Amino acid sequence: QQSELNSFLWTIKRDPPSYFFGTIHVPYTRVWDFIPDNSKKAFQQSHIVYFELDLTDPYTISALTSCQLLPQGENLQDVLPRDIYRRLKRHLEYVKLMMPSWMTPDQRGKGLYADYLFNAIAGNWERKRPVWVMLMVNSLTEVDIKSRGVPVLDLYLAQEAERLRKQTGAVEKVEEQCHPLNGLNFSQV
């Protein structure tokens, strides 16, 4: 029952009220039906919406891409043990080979091609820091590939907020997410 679901919604009692809603970075279609009506209603009634990051801002996307890269002149092959690098390379070759069979007819109908999708996800992988490669590899599964093209919950809500002409903002900068991950040493990754 919708009324019995945990809403992940906190109310800050003021006039007008403010709300704090916990999201998850998955395609919104995986969770939308489980988001209670009170959370959806709070979003609809809000005039101003703040997100973790502004995923609709080209600078944010560019900065996220840049922060994932190793220092100039370094490649993943230089920082990973040889056996792990070879296994990673073989796995990515396998994923690239399998990706056409993992894609849905709907994705193909929207003009998504396996090579394009692979390059969008894994392009420039040899220049990425190990922690970002690990996150990338974790998202290269058949289930995740089948949901590509569907925005994650944060992005979906941001797009909805823009469509509804709500004022939007972000509570974090890319650097605040990037630097802690980039600060992990190899054994932690």
Number of compact structural domains in the chain: 1
Average pLDDT over residues 60-74: 92
Contact assessment for residue 62 and residue 89, using Cβ atoms and an 8 Å cutoff:
no
Residue 188 lies in a domain: no
Mean pLDDT of 71-95: 95
Local confidence band at 97 (pLDDT 50, 70, 90 cut-offs): very high
Within-domain flag for 20: yes
- For residue 4, the model assigns a pLDDT of 60
High-pLDDT (> 90) share of the chain, %:
59
Q: Is residue 77 part of a domain?
A: yes
Q: Return mean pLDDT, the chain.
A: 90
189 in a domain, yes or no?
no
Range of the domain at 45: 2-183
Cis peptide before 16 (omega within 30 of 0): yes
AA identity, residue 23: T
The pTM (predicted TM-score) of the whole model is: 0.79
Would the pLDDT of 3 be above 80?
Answer: no
